[in-house]
A and B are shown apart, each in its own frame.
Chain A
Amino acid sequence: MVERSQVEELLSRHLSELTEFAGFEALVSGQGSREDYEGFLVNLVRTHLRSPQVLAFLYSLAPPEAAANLAHNMLEELGIEEESGIAHPSLLRELAKGAGLGDRLAELEVAAQESLRQIISEPILYGTLKEVGLATLVEVVAFEFMLSRVASRIARALARHLRLSSSTLEWFTHHSEVDIRHAGQGIDNVLSYVRYYGFSDEDALTICGMALRENVFIKRYFGEKALARTGGAGA
């Protein structure tokens, strides 16, 4: 049976690659240029702007044991669960506007939609939807895991070096360290999914490894070229 520690180890390794990445260190230490910070924010907004759609896909595949949790995540993203009541994409738009990137929002919306269109149009490596779902779930959980551990550091750096207000940075608050419990549930969801759909350990771990074979955090937040500066391979 796939162990929780095996998934955690994979996610932790991925997270370490990010935190040891020079571009990330420059970002949180205030060494980055304004251009670096803006590039990071543009990439971050584009990465997460269509998260509700991705979570809706995962909800549709959720095993009974994980369905409530995935529904909660999706509703939270859509801003119709309790909490702030603000949809997370709206928080991302506020982040972009607050950072002086409001004039790029239309371009980011198009880019985010195009990324989604491309993912859906690309040939699928796997034979069934259950495998596609596991790969997607692992990537989503990886981001939750990472953000729950570094979102506050990033937000503090952005507040300090770009002088962004706490209301502008609210998206980070929703994904920050207080969300560690949430990220832990994400790993539970992966384990439930693997059990429910009857994956062999070998296949499940292989799919997890394939989903994170390159560092998705560095790729999405710092761009594809940044992967060359990390020595190429991720996991």
Chain B
Amino acid sequence: MRLASATVYALEIPLVEPFRHSARARSLCDSVVVRVRDEEGTEGFGEGVPRPYVTGETPDSVLEHLGRLWSCIAGRDLPELDGIDTLRAIESWLPTVPLPGALADHASRSALETAVLDCLLQRHEVSLGRLLPPVRQRVAYSGVITAGSLETALEHARRMKLVGLAQVKVKVGFEDDVARVHAVRETLGPSVSLRLDANGAWTMERAVEVTEATAGCDIASVEQPLPRGPVEELARLRRAVRVPLMADESLVTLEDADALIDAKAVDCFNVRVSKCGGLSRSLRIAARAAAAGIGLQVGSQVGETAILSAAGRHLAAHLPEVAFVEGSYGTLLLTEDVSAEGIHFGHRGEAPVLTGPGLGIRVLEDRLRKYAREVLELGPGGAS
């Protein structure tokens, strides 16, 4: 069965509350969603979240790039359903086309790869869990405390404690980091696992200063303390501090993963489906991390819709060793999500494995159109 057409939706869904960290503040979801259709009209959906400060992609560059990628796969027969090799087959279809000014075209690849995969699975009425068998039946998500006023951060901490989240991450990279971390820890109490995320906002000196000053706060890890740059810098910081370090912006490609492993630069990888270029590449990075004894966080994109959350849920349920999971905020963050079912986690941050066909959600196309600032139709030969 051949891939016949694709539709690309550049979304703008308002967030319930603005989300801030040291690199950006956002009040809208700006995901790009792809719907592919085969000749018989079976549909599949995928999502990418362009982040200029992570992969260098923007929503507009992804829209343009998806046209190029689509022209490489339009009219191809869907692959056979053949376990995990199916994922590799789809990934191998997508050529590595340089995207000017970008580190990688990963949001585009994530959107298209996931859409084709979902289409194939929907066609066979098979869950993604068949390809990625879950090793756990429930996934427990962390909360993330956005930057902003200390008062707001503590309000969020109280909410997370009330709903029973066992793991919380707080955004840092500001003048009041030390006071903020102490106050959040005090609000959460000692039983909640707390980690920090600087989004690359610290210098080496500041990283040492803050981690030492918060040594009594039982910090589980510090994510991306330094800006993306030479991995030796992260390795040097790792030797200088006692708290485990996690790579996020420094971990985009497989080459990044190898370099970080070789340099013994971090203790943990934050693998995010969109950032890492889709499920196939995310799995390969996760495999390299496991082989190197590096911990894993299955992360998410702020403002992602149910489509990417569903892909992340499958990944998090499948990987044997996952220290932390983020995402599945759904309508806790978006004023409206794009699936018929609520994807967001419940009490204690827990959510069940998705078992329905494909990604396990029913995407509402009219919802996509409602929030699309631009819709691009791609026919058999590309843009139409």
> Which A residues fall within an 8 A CB radius of B?
118, 121-127, 131, 202-203, 206-207, 209-210, 213-214, 219, 224-225, 227-228, 231-234
Q: Which of B336-357 contact A (CB under 8 A)?
A: 336, 341-342, 344-348, 351
| Other-chain residue from B14, B158, B351 in contact with A227 (beta carbon distance below 8 A) | B14
Interface residues on chain B, number (Cβ under 8 Å): 28
In the bound complex, what is the Cα–Cα distance between A20 and B342 (angstroms)?
31
Tell me whether B14 and A207 are in contact (CB under 8 A). Answer: no
Distance of A224 from chain B, by nearest CB (Å) = 4
User: Bound complex: CA of A224 vs CA of B14, how far in Å?
Assistant: 8
What chain B residues lie within 8 Å of A122 (beta carbons)? 331, 342, 344
Nearest B residue to A218 via CB reads: B335
CB-CB under 8 A from A232, the residues of chain B are 14-18, 27
* Residue contact A203 to B370, C-beta cutoff 8 Å: no
- B323 in contact (CB, < 8 A): no
In the assembly, what is the distance between CA of A52 and CA of B142, in Å?
36
A213: contacting residue among B12, B17, B158, B344, CB under 8 A: B17
- Bound CA span A228–B351, Å: 28
Residue A126 contacts which of B16, B163, B335, B344 (CB distance < 8 angstroms)? B163
- With A123-B345, A203-B162, A224-B336 known as contacts, the answer to whether A214 contacts B27 (CB < 8 A) is no
Across the interface, name the chain A residue whose C-beta is closest to B340.
A118
Task: Select from chain A the residue with minimum beta-carbon distance to B12.
Answer: A228
Bound state CA distance, A231 and B335, in angstroms? 12
Known: A125-B163, A224-B335, A232-B27. A214 touches B17 (CB 8 A): yes
- Say yes or no: is B371 at the interface (Cβ < 8 Å to chain A): yes
- List the 4 closest A-B pairs by CB distance, nearest first: A123-B346, A228-B14, A122-B342, A233-B17
B284 shortest CB reach to chain A, Å: 31
Hey, which chain B residues are within 8 Å of A209, CB to CB? 155, 159
Residues in A with CB closer than 8 Å to B155 are: 206, 209
| Chain A residue at minimum C-beta to C-beta distance from B370 | A225
CB of B121 closer than 8 Å to a CB of A: no
Complex-state Cα separation, A45 to B375, whole angstroms: 31
Is B164 positioned at the interface, with any CB of A under 8 Å from its CB? yes
A sample of 12 more A-B contacts (CB under 8 A), given A122-B344, A127-B347, A228-B27, is A124-B347, A125-B332, A126-B163, A126-B347, A127-B163, A131-B162, A203-B162, A210-B159, A210-B162, A213-B17, A231-B27, A233-B15
Q: Provided the pairs A126-B163, A127-B347 are in contact, do residues A121 and B342 lie with their beta carbons within 8 angstroms?
A: yes
A-B contact pairs, 12 of them (CB 8 A): A118-B342, A123-B342, A125-B163, A125-B346, A126-B347, A127-B164, A209-B159, A213-B16, A213-B17, A228-B335, A233-B16, A233-B17
Judged by a CB distance under 8 angstroms, whether B279 is at the interface is no
Instruction: Identify B28's interface contact among A127, A203, A228, CB under 8 A.
Output: A228
Contact between B162 and A206, CB atoms less than 8 A apart: yes
